Structure formats: C-alpha cells, structure tokens
Amino acid sequence: MSAAIEVEGLSHVYGGTVPALEDISLRVPAGRFTVIVGPSGCGKTSLLMMLAGLRTQTRGAITCLGKPIPQPDPERVGVIFQEASLYPWLTSLENIEFPLSLRGTPKGEMRRRAEAMLELVGLTGFGGRYPHELSGGMKQRVSIARGLVQDPPVLLMDEPFAALDEQTRMTMGHELLRIWSTTSKTVVFITHSLTEAVYLADEVLVMSARPGRIIDRITIDLPRPRTYEMMATDVFGRLRDRIWRQIRKAD
C-alpha cells in the first residue's frame, strides 16, 4: 500500500531551547486509521499541526501524498479540532460551506455539498441552527462535516471527542467509523482514551513524555466493522493493557 503520510527524522525544538519532539519517523498507509496516544504535553498536537502544515518543524521531512506540506492545503488535508471551533455567527450549514466559500465555489454547488455532508453526519434538518443551539456531540458532527466537505484524502483529528461525555463519545466514535468506512480516508487521530484508541485504530502509535518520541507501534487486528461487544473481549483488553503499560513507562 502506498503511504499517504511519511515522516522522516522529525525533531522540533520549542522556543529555541526546549526539545518537544525527537526523531519521529512514521508511515501512514493510504486509507488507514492511525491513532496517536501519549501523555499530556508529549507534543502530539504539535506533530499533528505539522502534518497539517500549520506549524513548521525544526528538522526532518514530512511528505503528504508524495509532496511536502509547508503550509495548509485543504485539498489534501482536513483538520478537525478538539473544540469544535465552529464560527458562532454562522449556521451549521454556513459553517460547513465555509471552506468551500473561501475558494469561491458557486452557491448552488456549495449548498448541495454541504447538505450532503450534513446528511452524512446525521444532522439533516439542523442546517439552520447556530452552534449555540446544538449539543456538544452535534457540534462535533458539524465540525466533522466541515472537515469532510472539501473531500481531502487525509483527515487529521486532534482529540475531537475529548470534551464530550463518555456516552456521546462512544456514539461519536462509532459514527466516525461508519463515516470513515464509506469515504476511505486516511485518518490520523489523537486521543487520550485508550479504549477509543483500540476501538478506532488500525495502528496505534504510542508517544513518550517530552521530548516526544514514538516508543511503540501496535497493530490492532480486530476485525471490522468494530462493535461495542469487542470491547469486552480478551484481545481488546490485552491490546489496551499493552498501550497502558507503554504509556506508564513513558511518563
């Protein structure tokens, strides 16, 4: 399988003195779901921002779909943030249309594509609502729709469900897998939740505390589609346990 993202010997020094990331190398095959876990402050968000072209690393190379990514490129990479970061002065539909409108997409096409995304994330009929009229889970759905509307092959997600309650979080994880299975995107997903990591991932990368390094790569070979019942199985437990031990060692 060809690689959607390749990172070679990436290091980052924060503010000229503080080493934040150290010698990160990774390869995300196209269409795969990769989850990055690690202790707080290990630089996983920084890494994601670099993959998105939103921040520049001190050393090393990032290749995204065969080309470097020195600045954001929404044609290749969509980013979904922890806080849904929807614009409160726009309705759900207008928020989803926002990236298209930046590129002067004709109004009719914009509306059509945004409506389709709204349907994909299960929010048909909520297009006219403002973000403050939506629940946390619904906001993240809109945010996902906004990330998908430009149809980028790569989707980067920075703890998108961290602010949600446990129940909503599980539902959203399940929803995300459903959406992912219909779109065949390459996903890099950051989380604190080990259960979420095992449940979602094809591969889990475990990072150490600062300076962040990748200390383990765990292939999750649970069959798809994943089900809630799998969480109770021994295999699931052993995988989660292995990640946990690595993180504890790293901390």
Interacting residue ranges for another protein, rule: CB under 8 A: 52, 54, 72-75, 77-79, 81, 83, 85, 87-90, 98-99, 102-103, 130-133, 146, 150
Distance CA 176, CA 78 (A): 14
Question: Who contacts 176 (Cβ-Cβ below 8 Å, separation ≥6)?
Answer: 144, 200
* Nearest approach, Cβ of residue 160 and another protein (Å): 12
* Nearest approach, Cβ of residue 45 and another protein (Å): 11
Using the minimum distance from each CB to another protein, give the nearer residue, 38 or 99: 99
Contact between residue 77 and residue 136 where contact means Cβ atoms under 8 Å apart: no
Burial (Cβ within 10 Å: 0-12, 13-18, ≥19) of residue 251: exposed
Helical H segments across 66-130, by residue range: 92-102, 107-120
Helical H segments across the chain, by residue range: 44-51, 92-102, 107-120, 136-148, 166-183, 194-200, 234-250
Contact between residue 81 and residue 147 where contact means Cβ atoms under 8 Å apart: no
* Nearest approach, Cβ of residue 242 and another protein (Å): 33
Residue 169's SS3 state is helix
Distance CA 4, CA 29 (A): 5
Using the minimum distance from each CB to another protein, give the nearer residue, 150 or 186: 150
| Kind and range of the H or E run holding 34 | strand 33-37
Using the minimum distance from each CB to another protein, give the nearer residue, 54 or 209: 54
Distance CA 175, CA 244 (A): 25
Give the number of other CB atoms < 10 A from CB of residue 29. 15
Using the minimum distance from each CB to another protein, give the nearer residue, 34 or 95: 95
Using the minimum distance from each CB to another protein, give the nearer residue, 22 or 159: 159
Using the minimum distance from each CB to another protein, give the nearer residue, 103 or 224: 103
* Nearest approach, Cβ of residue 106 and another protein (Å): 17
Using the minimum distance from each CB to another protein, give the nearer residue, 89 or 219: 89
* Nearest approach, Cβ of residue 248 and another protein (Å): 31
Closest Cα partner for 133 from 79, 82, 81, 86? 86
* Nearest approach, Cβ of residue 223 and another protein (Å): 33
* Nearest approach, Cβ of residue 214 and another protein (Å): 24
